[in-house]
Amino acid sequence: MIGSHIIPKFYLEQFATPSNRGKNKPGRVWVYQKGRDPQERATSVQGRENGYFGFVRPDGSIEESFESVLAGRENECNEVLACAKSDLFHWPPGSHKKLAFYAGLLHARASQRRDFSERNRAHVIDQLREAAKDESLLKEIADALGRHLGQPVSVSHIRKGIHVWSERAPSKAAARNSYLSDLLKFAAQIAELLLSKQPWVVLRPSEETEIVTSDNPLVTFVPMANGKLQPGYGFNKKEAVAVFPLAPTACLLMGDAWHLARSRIDAATLWELNEAIVSICDRYVYSKTFCEETARRVEESAGTVRYGVNAFVGPGVTLPVARQFLRRHFGLSPQ
């Protein structure tokens, strides 16, 4: 089974200390994880998960050709990724699209998004099974369906139907395949939204400070009046900007809602930016050199912003629960 890099090795190399064993040897990057001591690890082994991009066949075996497809798409963008951090880069035609797709791809494949999809599937199935125990709800549905069909419908028939429905809900393997099937399409959709966020500016930290990155490196946030950055807003929100770390010395800013006096940011602003990046990670934060302040912030706030929990969910917007869906499906009031 292929050991897939959730975050591409080439991307991690932009934040790594080059190997002293040769040009093509993996560099080393500092890895921070809440509850663990920071470690310096090789980019070749960090963030690997066997079969992460493998489709599950009907017999349970793993089909991993998609790994090669992703590698090809990544390679198309690597040159732009490596060059964009330079002041001398002149952004030739097509380079914005390539980098936007690359950032969207890293967002689409992040384990936070994958895990949210699985949690949501399991939650809906549990709700359906609970709804099948509600005699009052079942009777309302049976009466409504009976009126529609012009003949009596029993409560037991509705209960059995919901049970069969929940049992036939996509399996964990099917949900995983669906996640992978939509990955490139979702990445392209995010890329289009990023391209609409203008202008693009490369931010640079002051000397002796570094920009960090994570296993969920594309971050959106709304700048607050007090200077704080509130992460996790949707890409369509006009007041939200997107940032994508390119290297310890450069970070791409997309959008015009964060008003900075200049592209070289001071230490206080850098730490606000790093805090936003740390807060929306799934498990890992990365830096080129070890930093006690980064380690402290990881312990305090790593992963406090979660996909589908308090990130990328509009204020006041909640998804209908299975009970509401059933009521609407059979023409009943949702309440």
Share of the chain above pLDDT 70, in %: 96
Phi, psi values for residue 188, rounded to 5°: -65, -35
**pLDDT tens by residue, 255-309:** 999 999 889 999 999 999 999 999 999 999 999 999 999 999 999 999 999 877 7
| Range with the largest mean pLDDT of 16-25, 100-109, 119-128, 305-314 | 100-109
**C-alpha torsion sign, points 97, 103, 107, 108:** positive
| Amino acid (one-letter) located at 27 | G
What is the pLDDT at residue 220?
Answer: 95
Q: How confident is the model at residue 1 (pLDDT cuts 50, 70, 90)?
A: low
Confidence (pLDDT) at 248: 97
Q: DSSP of 196-231, one letter per residue? A: HS--EEEEEEPTT----EESS--EEEEE-TTS-EEE
DSSP 3-state helix, strand, coil percentages of the chain (rounded to 5)?
40, 15, 40
Give the residue from 318, 335, 317 showing the smallest Cα distance to 326. Answer: 335
Per-residue pLDDT tens over the stretch 171-196: 778 888 888 999 999 999 999 999 99
The beta strands (E) that lie in the chain are given as 3-5, 28-32, 39-42, 48-50, 55-56, 62-63, 200-205, 213-214, 219-223, 229-231, 241-247, 250-254, 264-265, 285-287
> If you average pLDDT over residues 163-178, what whole number do you get?
78
Residue 137: how many CA atoms within 13 Å on its side-chain side? 21
Element (H, E) at 189: helix 183-196
Q: How far apart are CA 334 and CA 240, in angstroms?
A: 33
313 pLDDT more than 70: no
| CA distances from residue 41 to 12, 18, 33, 81, 145 in whole angstroms, order as listed | 11, 12, 13, 22, 61
Cα separations in angstroms, 47 against 43, 104, 260, 274, 297: 8, 18, 33, 20, 20
- Give the mean model confidence (pLDDT) for residues 63-86: 95
Phi, psi values for residue 193, rounded to 5°: -65, -40
Q: Grade residue 2 by pLDDT with cuts at 50, 70 and 90.
A: confident
Which pLDDT band holds residue 315 (cuts at 50, 70, 90)? very low
The pLDDT confidence band at residue 214, using thresholds 50, 70 and 90, is: very high
Q: How far apart are CA 247 and CA 82, in angstroms?
A: 9
Q: Mention every residue, 6+ apart, whose C-beta is less than 8 A from residue 123.
A: none
Answer yes or no: are the C-beta atoms of 94 and 77 closer than 8 Å. no
Are residues 247 and 211 in contact, defined by beta-carbon separation less than 8 angstroms? yes
Dig out the tokens for 55 from the structure. 């489709």
> 143 in helix, strand or coil?
helix
